[in-house]
Homo-oligomer: A and B are copies of this chain.
Amino acid sequence: MLFHLLEDSEICSLIAVRRRRRCQNSATFFSHPMSSPKHVGSGKVAGMGKPQVAAVLPAGGSGERMGVSTPKQFCTILGRPLISYTIQAFERVRWIKEIVVVVPAEKIDLMQSIIHKYGHKRVTLAEGGTARHRSILSGLKMLAQSESPVSKLWKPDVVIIHDAVRPFVEEDILLKVTAAANEHGAAGVVRPLISTVIASSEVGCLDYSLERAKHRASEMPQAFQFDAIFQAYLQSSDYDLDYGTECLQLALKYSSMPAKLVDGPPDLWKVTYSRDLYAAESLIKDGLSQYVCLITVMKEDVVQVGFLLHETLKTHGKQVKGISPSMCENVSQLQSLFKDKPCYNFICINTKESSFEDAEKMVDLLGSSSLPILYPVLLFSVHLVGPEGSSLYDKPQELEGIRDLSHKAMKKNIWVYGLVINLTKIEQQLQETVCRGAAIIMALIKDRCGTLAGQLLVA
């Protein structure tokens, strides 16, 4: 459910079938004339073949409910601010042409540095207002000014509005709300209620409870015909702009557009409390831990351990690809291993002779790519010792070697771990050792905390 965060390619999906279906939808959406919108805000939309789509992400929240001083959109997961994950989710979608992020004046510099650091494209910053609706209005104004000669932007036909603190938004739901908005004027994602909603009497007692089945929680994303929603915002009263929170309500009230409601997945929830940040972190780490690339040479010991490791990781639900060092010539080759899913976990099984050579090459290769910009990349350098006589620490340079390599790699957001596997001729024992090794690798991949990088662990 989180794979949209895990890849650089612009169209994503969890499984191939779903992917094909989505692409068909996408094709239909963009190549056929739209059905006539019921509510047309401007003549431009009607009969148009390909709507121009932009997004506005209001990011002015204060994080009060989080109980922390950092607004939640700037809280970090794996060192990267939450808002960067949300921007990334929109960037992947090729047909969203422009992303306007609205932040308070005092956060403009911070936001600019985030855009620069993580290489975000197609993002324009706008200065936010004091309330959510005022921030959205700022974003809409920036898009509307496109006709000014100084603007790099253009006025979209459809605008998507989404919260900066809902990073798990996938292309298919963006497509659904955009298509529905294009047809109906306005559309928004809804979810079933988790708790019963009740109304309180004046004395703080239960007045009535709502029937759960008839009501829905209104979530994001929402989408609107641009001219219609912009007019609605321009006409909104100060009270609505200062105290309202629901865009669909403004569209209904000021532009008479009853939004089409679209059922959305549970991952669209809003990161509101500290626990939500924990949940988001775990989901992101979970996603990053799915794919593993195993690099082995064709030598007997190495192949045997590689095979056992491969099988064990697969048994535990990982998708594993085994390759030879010669296939590690360029990153794009490595990236095509899992079609368009980038892999952030590498295991390099060293021969007794090569020691760190292959691992060092991998650090150079990965470090020169854009891969570690968005997420830390993990590299396990596996060292085989034995089978007889030679003890693990006959070569104390292993420990020093792994520390030095880790130190160098850390600067490039690559975390290197050493793993010692004791070769034994008793197959059962070797299997158990490799199982322990796989468990160590999986634990470190899942926890994805850099503190233990540079350690030499023993399976």
Q: Which residues of A contact B (CB under 8 A)?
A: 65, 184, 186, 188, 190-191, 193-201, 204-207, 209-210, 212, 214-219, 245-246, 248-249, 252, 258-261, 266-267, 269-270, 272-273, 275-276, 278-283, 391-393, 396, 399, 403, 439-440, 442-443, 446-447, 449, 451-452, 455-458
Contact = CB atoms under 8 A, between A and B. Distances in A.
Contacts of A210: 197, 210, 215
A260 B216 contact: no
A261 B200 contact: yes
Nearest to A436: B451
B392 A196 contact: no
Given A196-B249, A200-B214, 19 more contacts: A188-B206, A194-B272, A195-B270, A196-B218, A197-B218, A198-B218, A198-B261, A201-B258, A205-B259, A206-B248, A206-B259, A209-B249, A210-B210, A393-B396, A393-B399, A403-B458, A439-B451, A443-B449, A452-B452
A201 to B, nearest CB: 7
Contacts of A452: 440, 443, 452, 457
A216 B245 contact: no
Nearest to A184: B205
A442 B447 CA distance: 13
B399 A458 contact: yes
Nearest to A395: B393
25 contacts: A194-B272, A195-B218, A195-B270, A196-B245, A196-B246, A196-B249, A198-B218, A198-B248, A199-B215, A205-B259, A205-B261, A209-B218, A209-B248, A212-B245, A269-B275, A275-B279, A275-B280, A275-B282, A393-B399, A440-B452, A443-B447, A443-B449, A443-B452, A447-B449, A452-B457
B197 A193 contact: yes
A441 to B, nearest CB: 9
Contact of A216 (B184, B200, B216): B200
Contact of A207 (B193, B258, B267): B258
B261 A206 contact: yes
B440 A451 contact: yes
B273 A278 contact: no
